Structure 1
Amino acid sequence: MCRGDGALSDWERSSTARVIPPARPRKLAKVPFVELADGRLQGVVSSGSDIGRVYVSSVATGTYAFACSTNNNRPCGGARGSYCKHIMALISEAVLQYGAGRVARYLKVETADGEPTALSIAADMTDTHPSQAGSQAAAAVFSRFLRHLTYLELAPVTAPLPEMQWFPSTRAVA
């Protein structure tokens, strides 16, 4: 968007998107990937017992339908009728990453007076039930997580990444 004088703002001339810093620092070992996307709080949670296993967990906005399965598409044994420990860890890390207020607003959770916490958000999500749609989205979430990992392997450079060149330019072509 142009300002009133037709000039582009700094962020529009930049090749990078504005990144919102986390609400509080978090450790990535337990929940390496968390996002508010596709109408769900979703992410990847490490297994507590097997270093080679991760769980893809999600909670749907508004309905609080949940899904949790391993990276091999096996259902989580703890997600039977209520949130498992992986989903609870996902909610806690989302609160650290985005702030409790933002997570509660995104999930459409009506919290009691005062600042919500991860526990109050989970407690206020009533009428939870397993979700088939969340299970089907697990592959896309895990794929995005793996894609994010590949960016960590890149050397730090200021040059544009070729795969990001499909974004339209904001400059007028003469």
Structure 2
Amino acid sequence: MTDWEKASAARVIPPARPRKLAKVPFVELADGRMQGVVSSGSDIERVYVSSVAAGTYAFACSTNNNRPCGGARGSFCNHINALISEAVLQYGAERVARYLRVEAADEEPSAHSITAGMSAARPLQGETTAAASVFSRFLRHLAYLELAPSTGPLPEMQWFPPTRAVA
């Protein structure tokens, strides 16, 4: 067993390419969706929670106050397009295409070919259940950034209860 396998910390997979966090501060492939938080272009205090379901490509985009995005009417809005682009930077195009189950037209998938592959499948709008949990995870990640650097354990990161010695 290697040292990292004995540690209580998980290995972090480095991003495929460096990305700027100003436009899309949070993107993840989780819960059968590509999902994340995208900054508003017009209001610094507003963010959008966007998601695309793997396989069905059902999508949703709404503000942090659960107001629907005006641009997500029958096709992907700019927030979802930005999320796809940033997911490709973070995870790599092949991994994103595989996770979303998109048949990209190009041999080398790209953000554009992934978007085109999902658009051809006529995405269905209405995937609304993810927004609250995605935004909550994003806020939790922000809270970790405010902590002072430390090698000590974080109680909320202790997933398994301590074992008790049996007498």
1:163 counterpart residue number: 156
3-state SS in 2 of match to 1:163: helix
Within the candidate set 44, 51, 55, 2:44 is matched to: 51
AA paired with 1:138?
A
Within the candidate set 109, 121, 131, 1:116 is matched to: 109
Are 2:71 and 1:78 aligned? yes
Unaligned runs of 5+ in 2: none
2:128 counterpart residue number: 135
Provide the alpha-carbon RMSD of the alignment: 1.7
Please tell me whether the aligned partners of residues 106 and 113 of structure 2 are also in contact (alpha carbons under 8 angstroms). no
Which runs of at least 4 in structure 1 moved beyond 6 Å after TM superposition?
Answer: none
Of residues 96-105 and 120-129 in structure 1, the stretch that sits farther from structure 2 once superposed is: 120-129
Give the Cα–Cα distance (whole angstroms) in 1 for the partners of residues 102 and 71 of structure 2. Answer: 23
- TM-score, L = length of structure 1: 0.89
AA paired with 2:4?
W
1:37 counterpart residue number: 30
AA paired with 1:76?
C
Tell me: CA distance 1:113–1:123, structure 2 relative to 1, closer, same or farther (3 Å).
closer
Deviation at 1:111, TM superposition (A): 1.2
3-state SS in 2 of match to 1:135: coil
1:99 counterpart residue number: 92
3-state SS in 2 of match to 1:115: coil
Deviation at 1:137, TM superposition (A): 1.3
Give the Cα–Cα distance (whole angstroms) in 2 for the partners of residues 113 and 90 of structure 1. Answer: 20
AA paired with 2:111?
A
Unaligned runs of 5+ in 1: 1-7
1:3 counterpart residue number: none
Deviation at 1:13, TM superposition (A): 1.2
AA paired with 1:41?
M
Deviation at 1:165, TM superposition (A): 2.0
AA paired with 2:66?
N
Cα deviation 1:20-72 (Å, max 9, x = unaligned)? 00000000000000000000000000000000000000000000000000000
AA paired with 1:85?
N
